[in-house]
Structure 1
């Protein structure tokens, strides 16, 4: 279906924007989110958890959970995991400094520490229809250390910077089921060079293919349990 004509998607997005108080990124944001949901739909027949690393005000998780409920009318957020500091970005590092003159901010990071701050209570309220969601507040990778061992079928990584992107990938990829999907929101954005470096450094030596989308996302589909 053409995303412009997808009435369900646009209705849910409008509701999500209102519930979460998220800024409306207009066309670019609409296309990115619509792409992400198509990959979520791809894994619906699979078994495993769903994780979002970096949720900001919760719009992505709001949309994902409503689509999961469309697949399973009784869905209450079970096996859905949100990882976020709820304090905004951590401090950018050298690998996050922009080195492309097309961006106009060469020699510095696009955003500083604390950007994209979204409060836990606000996000929890926005997602109140899904009480079984597990919120893991804290910095990545610290919040991964005490997690029980489990398999995942879908992971959305939207943490912008090199180190948390790399840490998220190192944790979740080995635990991704065959056919499972990781979507990195920032992979092909000039403003976030650290995200691309993180994926390329992890994936290239292992022969893992990253699909680079025109919306700036990077997508990994796991095809071999042993990789």
Structure 2
């Protein structure tokens, strides 16, 4: 007999990526190439221009969230869970669903985003982002109210979900987070990736996980991760998830 928890989580992943009623062989543009839809949504290589989705990170990265979070729960790794950069909220919704089905009621889910726009580059402080134009992509900006409505659609919004609205440099240093078991960074820029690492990684428990969404896709993000790991002599191996997502476990 199939495990009902796994059936629910698999169904939720397909729903978040709008795969339940999609035509799996329909051709979409993924990383600039015509690709069957089911393949594009496996590795999250499709931008959200081909129909409604609540997550564009793909099945492999959602599976990785599930693997890491269930390992944290099984091994009693202490701390809350956070995602920085949430778009429609799909990955955060999935994280909250995993917590709820495992009755992890003592852990909070922190959902951090400007909920307005990707901030323009700050080349004086972070010259690595000088050429970025992501702030001009208005469909990447999703209001807080829309993200909260999406949580309600999936019946996972409760008092354990805490929203941090604003720029990371303003919200993360003062957020009342004592300890983290899982961090997911999806900030795209060098600045937002570095700020997520600076303010959150020291709070990550031993045995906890950090997941990086844009390591393979955006050189600025990769450089921020590599710079931080070098500065802090982090030797834990970086493990690839798909063409862009990576993670490692804190020793």
Q: Distance in 1 between matches of 2:80 and 2:241?
A: 27
Q: Deviations over 1:195-218 (max 9, x none)?
A: 111111010232213514151123
Whether contact under 8 Å (1:90, 1:113) holds in the other structure is no
CA drift of 1:111 comes to 2.8
2:15 matched to which residue of 1? 15
1:211 matched to which residue of 2? 238
2:192 matched to which residue of 1? 164
1:60 paired to 2:91? yes
2:132 matched to which residue of 1? 109
Q: Distance in 2 between matches of 1:212 and 1:35?
A: 11
1:131 matched to which residue of 2? 158
Q: Distance in 2 between matches of 1:78 and 1:121?
A: 23
SS in 1 for 2:202: helix
Higher relative contact order (CA 8 A, sep 6+): 1
Q: Deviations over 1:4-62 (max 9, x none)?
A: xx6444311233346xxxxx861211112212221122211222111110110010011
Q: How many residues align?
A: 199
1:199 paired to 2:225? yes
TM-score calculated relative to the size of structure 1: 0.79
Where does 1:68-79 land on structure 2 (aligned, <5 Å)?
68-72=99-103, 75=105, 79=108
Q: Distance in 2 between matches of 1:71 and 1:140?
A: 29
2:205 matched to which residue of 1? 177
Q: Distance in 2 between matches of 1:9 and 1:148?
A: 29
Whether contact under 8 Å (1:153, 1:180) holds in the other structure is yes
2:34 matched to which residue of 1? none
Where does 1:29-108 land on structure 2 (aligned, <5 Å)?
29-44=58-73, 45-72=76-103, 75=105, 79-92=108-121, 93=123, 94-96=127-129, 108=131
Give me the CA root mean square deviation: 2.3
In structure 2, list runs of 5 or more residues that go unmatched. Answer: 1-5, 19-36, 44-57
CA drift of 1:146 comes to 2.6
TM-score calculated relative to the size of structure 2: 0.72
Q: Distance in 2 between matches of 1:50 and 1:80?
A: 5
Instruction: Compare 175-184 and 201-210 and name the one that shifted more.
Output: 201-210
Instruction: Compare 212-221 and 147-156 and name the one that shifted more.
Output: 212-221
